[in-house]
Amino acid sequence: MAEELVVTELLSDSMIEVGKRLVERLDESNSDVQAAFWLFLPDEKRWKLIIVSRLVQKDGPRQFYKRIVEANKKADELELVVSLNDVGVADTSNTLVNLLNVDITTGDGISGIRFAGNTINGTFIDDTYIYRINLVSDT
């Protein structure tokens, strides 16, 4: 079984790589990931990997967390994975995601954009590392 990544106060190369691999595995399982990014939570002094999908609203957060568990199970035995404690899921109505979508759109691939110390529409974004922001409407 894969080992869980230790998430620290500093965004490490390991955290970036492990997050990317999780997004790739979720893509392989048709999880409709429209946004994925590490978000620094200054009050807690830690990072959280945020995954945004329309399936969170459609099927509920619990079902989406099960998708993450299944994706982690597909990791190689020696590969690190992100603990569910370090992952948050949201649907496409999430305020922060929609704010980020104002300034950043990556397309449906996986990018590597550091977005730190910026303000969007009066909201300060302390630090993020963005893999994808590609909100697609249901129509």
Domain definitions of the chain by residue range: 3-133
Contact assessment for residue 86 and residue 47, using Cβ atoms and an 8 Å cutoff: yes
The mean pLDDT value for 6-34 works out to 94
Question: What pTM, to 2 d.p., does this model score?
Answer: 0.93
- C-alpha span between 91 and 72 (Å, rounded): 21
Contact assessment for residue 83 and residue 44, using Cβ atoms and an 8 Å cutoff: no
The mean pLDDT value for 9-15 works out to 93
For the stretch 25-51, pLDDT in tens is 999 999 999 999 999 999 999 999 999
Q: Across 4-13, 54-63, 76-85, 116-125, which has the greatest mean pLDDT?
A: 54-63
* Torsion angle of the four alpha carbons 107, 79, 84, 96, in this order, in degrees rounded to the nearest 10: -20
Integer CA distances (angstroms), 131 to 56, 77, 102, in order = 18, 24, 16
For the stretch 52-109, pLDDT in tens is 999 999 999 999 999 999 999 999 888 999 999 999 999 999 999 999 998 888 988 9
Dihedral class, residue 58 (left if φ above 0, else alpha if ψ from -120 to 50, else beta): alpha
Q: Which band of pLDDT confidence, cut at 50, 70 and 90, is reported for residue 138? A: low
Residue 22 predicted with pLDDT over 50: yes
pLDDT at 139: 47
The mean pLDDT value for 2-13 works out to 85
Residue 112 predicted with pLDDT over 60: yes
pLDDT at 105: 87
